[in-house]
């Protein structure tokens, strides 16, 4: 891998001290004016909120002029499109567009998911600077009319590029070029310390065996939703999560032969939406059983990369019309399983990256129970589930024996401190780190001892890493929930909210065993920022929500419905709704066939207090709201793979999907377009497949970033009990 040295890159960054920079080689992909797809190797330079695209490296060619240039605006939307086949190579595509002009969309592609994620973070950082300038600039109109970069279509001033079709071809040699010419990153991007979720998990993992440097765990809780045993293998691999992910996803036969005893012969059948594919494989069972008839299988892989760099991969047995039953082969179903690959903190005095790899699957086999309690060989060691559990050990040994893999897949990222007066590097790091912020979950208490914490720098915040210590002090923090009533006007008289006359299309349940209904779970199952969060990153158990859930609508719509509170039959427009001091309308727009809207109505018994955090959120602009509004999900009951896909980490919704805000009279509406993100669409598609058996808890809140705003409080919660899609009522005109 040919990359600039750290010293050379740092010297370049010093030329404009205090300015955030990111530059490197990317592919500019799209369709030109004559309908031809193009893929050009381009040098992209992002400095502050200004961005320029070149044919060659401007550092080596100082006189070269950019072929495209512009500024990043506060309305920029960045979307991860996942992996795509481009010119017979796998590239990771990122899309950019402005909310004001959604028809103009541009795309760039990178060789690795890590590189694509870093570009997304860099553009989001530039957008934050644009948002800050928008709030402080005296001449706001001038700022809003700055020319934003256009990555779509042809360059209008350089039409000579389209004069001859012979010139409309790819520049560069393919993804391998990007591996040699990686991007350089200037700006603080501290290691992500996120390890756990923001809700309490019911799984209790017990180590039952160790083998080949990995640990085998079994869920011994009494709340397993499946009929078999829930088992996972866990191992620490001396490599970054991105490299392990690339090795795992690779279907090249010769490489998989070196670590995978089951899935060595794989064939990629089809790829969907950049985050989903279908794979066909064969194996000779003589390595696992006494039978000698050949077997084949088909399974799907669906993967997500969270903002903290953690990969989640879901594997399901599947069928595909391109791969019907094959003569001479017996079709076998592979156990459903999930992978989690997350980076660990690097111990002090070491620069060696490490990641924790977990592979979880459900085993319906009596031989498992005999194997875990016996030191002798059993039938289980000749089974497919055993081969799946051994995959972590195979990855660990293969990567350890091939250090060149780290150079092949790694990106050369160089960091330097930023001293921009409006947005410091620590602010940027905190925003990224807390987009899916961390708390304590019982599930990880059995496998977090691999993350060493041997000291801390006094110049940095103290991080909450020792989960065992945190769990021991949890009882003390349990009573530290905040008094959310301070957000409401203390001088106003309280009214009694009578919910008997307020009804939505979804009925209120009478208990947890009820179905197709909603209830109020309280805040005891959620972890939020405590009073001393800025000092020690400590979380506390959520208290009673500030707002009362008064009704829920479960609607069927032809297309996404915005400003649903203005509908003439909506609860907000009723006499009972107009009599309330304040109503928060939370509209989750679910993409499906047909589309759905889950609308939650929260009310307060007093008006909102002026100068409170809630008032700042209601009166602020969309840029401020996008960086503050959070959702914490939790699958309380349901299929374990759905739990893995949804996760338990808080999400800043405005950064993950498109949110629209509307304020009028006594209500404030938030419309969340889940379909605006391909990753969110994939997850919600999985959830809808099991929704009739799921119990889902949701909590919404406003993120506190300053000491005066702490501790946090919950705006509202809801529990959705086994919803039935057919019960959704059509939204009438």
Q: Does domain 205-345+352-406 match CATH 3.30.530.20?
A: yes
Q: Mean of the pLDDT values across residues 104-112?
A: 86
* 448 vs 95 pLDDT, higher one: 95
- Check whether 325 has a pLDDT greater than 80: yes
Q: Give the CATH fold of the 21-135 domain.
A: PH-domain like (2.30.29)
Would you state the structure tokens that stand for residue 309, as one six-digit string? 């760099």
How many CA atoms lie within 13 Å of 163's alpha carbon, on the beta-carbon side? Answer: 5
Poorest-pLDDT segment among 80-84, 216-220, 541-545: 80-84
Domains 21-135 and 205-345+352-406 share a fold: no
* Helices 241-249 & 391-401 angle (0-180, nearest 10): 110
- Rounded to whole angstroms, the Cα distance separating 718 from 244 reads 37
Q: Residue 288: what pLDDT?
A: 59
3-state secondary structure at position 471: helix
Which of these, 520, 558, 515, lies nearest to 724 by C-alpha position?
Answer: 515
Would you state the structure tokens that stand for residue 73, as one six-digit string? 């605006």
Q: Residue 564: what pLDDT?
A: 95
The burial of 23, by beta-carbon neighbours within 10 Å (0-12 exposed, 13-18 middle, 19 or more buried), is given as buried
- The per-residue pLDDT for range 224-259, each reduced to its tens digit, is 445 678 899 999 999 999 889 989 999 998 899 999
Report residue 620's pLDDT band, with 50, 70 and 90 as the boundaries: very high
Element spanning 249, H or E: helix 241-249
Q: What percent of the chain has pLDDT over 70?
A: 74
Report residue 193's pLDDT band, with 50, 70 and 90 as the boundaries: very low
Report residue 204's pLDDT band, with 50, 70 and 90 as the boundaries: confident
- Check whether 499 has a pLDDT greater than 90: no
Query: What residue segments make up the domains of the chain, in order of their start?
Result: 21-135, 205-345+352-406, 484-730
Report residue 266's pLDDT band, with 50, 70 and 90 as the boundaries: very high
Q: Residue 423: what pLDDT?
A: 34
- The per-residue pLDDT for range 637-678, each reduced to its tens digit, is 988 889 888 888 888 898 888 999 999 999 999 999 998 888
Residue 40 and residue 170 in contact, taking contact as beta carbons nearer than 8 Å: yes
- The per-residue pLDDT for range 279-303, each reduced to its tens digit, is 999 987 765 555 557 889 999 999 8
Q: Residue 136: what pLDDT?
A: 64
Q: Mean of the pLDDT values across residues 495-521?
A: 88
- The per-residue pLDDT for range 574-589, each reduced to its tens digit, is 999 999 999 999 999 9
User: Residue 168: phi, psi to the nearest 5?
Assistant: -90, 70
Q: Residue 86: what pLDDT?
A: 79
Dihedral angle sign, alpha carbons of residues 9, 15, 19, 25:
negative
Would you state the structure tokens that stand for residue 213, as one six-digit string? 């440097």
């Amino acid at each position: 891998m040919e990359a600039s040295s750290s010293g050379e890159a740092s010297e370049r960054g010093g030329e404009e001290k205090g300015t955030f920079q990111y530059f490197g080689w990317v592919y500019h992909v799209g369709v030109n004016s004559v309908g031809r797809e193009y893929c050009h190797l381009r040098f992209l330079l992002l400095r502050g909120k200004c961005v320029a695209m070149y044919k060659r490296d401007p550092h080596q060619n100082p006189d070269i002029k950019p072929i495209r240039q512009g500024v990043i605006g506060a309305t920029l939307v960045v979307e991860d499109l996942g992996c795509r086949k481009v010119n017979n190579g796998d590239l990771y595509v990122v899309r950019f567009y402005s909310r004001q002009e959604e028809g103009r969309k541009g795309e760039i592609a990178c060789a690795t998911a890590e590189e694509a994620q870093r570009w997304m973070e860099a553009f989001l950082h530039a957008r934050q600077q644009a948002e800050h300038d928008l709030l402080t600039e005296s001449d706001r109109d001038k700022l809003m009319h700055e020319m934003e970069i256009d990555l779509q279509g042809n360059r209008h001033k350089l039409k000579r590029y389209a004069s001859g079709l012979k010139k409309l071809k790819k520049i560069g040699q393919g993804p391998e070029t990007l591996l040699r010419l990686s991007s350089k990153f200037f700006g603080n991007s501290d290691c992500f310390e996120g390890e756990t979720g923001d809700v309490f998990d019911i799984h209790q993992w017990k180590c039952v065996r160790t083998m080949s440097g990995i640990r085998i765990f079994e869920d011994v809780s009494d709340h397993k939703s499946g009929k078999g045993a829930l088992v996972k293998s866990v191992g620490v691999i001396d490599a970054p999560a991105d490299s392990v992910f690339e090795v795992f996803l690779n279907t090249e036969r010769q490489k998989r032969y070196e670590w995978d005893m089951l899935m060595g012969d794989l064939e990629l059948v089809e790829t969907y939406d950049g985050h989903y594919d279908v794979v066909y494989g064969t194996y000779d069972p003589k390595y696992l059983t006494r039978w000698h008839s050949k077997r084949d299988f088909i399974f799907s892989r669906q993967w997500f990369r969270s903002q903290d760099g953690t990969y989640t991969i879901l594997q399901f047995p599947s069928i595909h019309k391109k791969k019907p039953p094959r003569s001479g082969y017996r079709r076998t179903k592979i156990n459903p399983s999930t992978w989690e690959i997350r980076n660990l903190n690097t111990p002090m005095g070491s620069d060696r990256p490490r990641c924790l790899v977990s592979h979880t699957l459900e085993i319906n086999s009596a031989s498992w129970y005999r194997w875990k309690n016996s030191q002798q060989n059993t039938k289980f060691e000749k089974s497919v589930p055993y081969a799946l559990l051994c995959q972590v050990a195979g990855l660990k040994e293969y990567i350890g024996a091939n250090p060149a893999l780290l150079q092949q897949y790694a990106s050369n990222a160089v960091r330097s401190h930023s001293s921009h007066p409006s947005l410091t590097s620590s602010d940027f790091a905190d925003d990224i780190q807390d987009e899916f912020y961390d708390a304590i979950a019982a599930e990880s208490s059995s496998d977090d001892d691999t993350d060493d914490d041997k000291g801390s720098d006094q110049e940095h915040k103290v991080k909450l890493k020792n989960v065992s210590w945190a769990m021991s002090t949890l009882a003390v923090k349990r009573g530290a929930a905040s008094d959310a009533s301070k957000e409401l006007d203390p001088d106003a008289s309280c009214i009694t909210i009578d919910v008997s006359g307020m009804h939505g299309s979804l009925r209120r349940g009478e208990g947890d065993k009820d179905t197709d209904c909603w209830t109020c779970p309280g805040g005891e199952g959620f972890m939020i920022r405590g009073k001393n969060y800025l000092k020690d990153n400590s979380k506390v158990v959520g208290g009673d929500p500030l707002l009362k859930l008064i009704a829920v609508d479960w609607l069927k719509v032809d297309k996404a419905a915005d400003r649903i509170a203005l509908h003439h039959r909506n609860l907000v427009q009723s006499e009972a709704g107009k009599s309330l001091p304040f109503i928060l309308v939370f509209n989750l727009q679910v993409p499906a066939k047909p589309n759905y809207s889950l609308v939650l109505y929260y009310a307060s018994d007093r008006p909102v207090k002026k100068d409170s955090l809630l008032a700042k959120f209601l009166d602020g602009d969309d840029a401020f709201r996008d960086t503050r509004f959070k959702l914490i999900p939790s699958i309380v009951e349901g299929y374990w793979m759905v739990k893995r896909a949804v996760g338990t980490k808080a999400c800043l919704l405005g950064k993950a999907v498109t949110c629209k805000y509307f304020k009028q009279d006594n209500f404030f509406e938030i419309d969340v377009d889940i379909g605006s993100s391909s990753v969110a669409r994939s997850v919600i598609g999985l959830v809808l497949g099991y929704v009739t058996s799921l119990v889902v808890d949701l909590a919404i809140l406003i993120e506190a970033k300053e000491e005066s705003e702490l501790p946090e409080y919950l705006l509202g919660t809801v529990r959705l009990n086994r919803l039935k899609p057919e019960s959704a009522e059509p939204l009438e005109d």
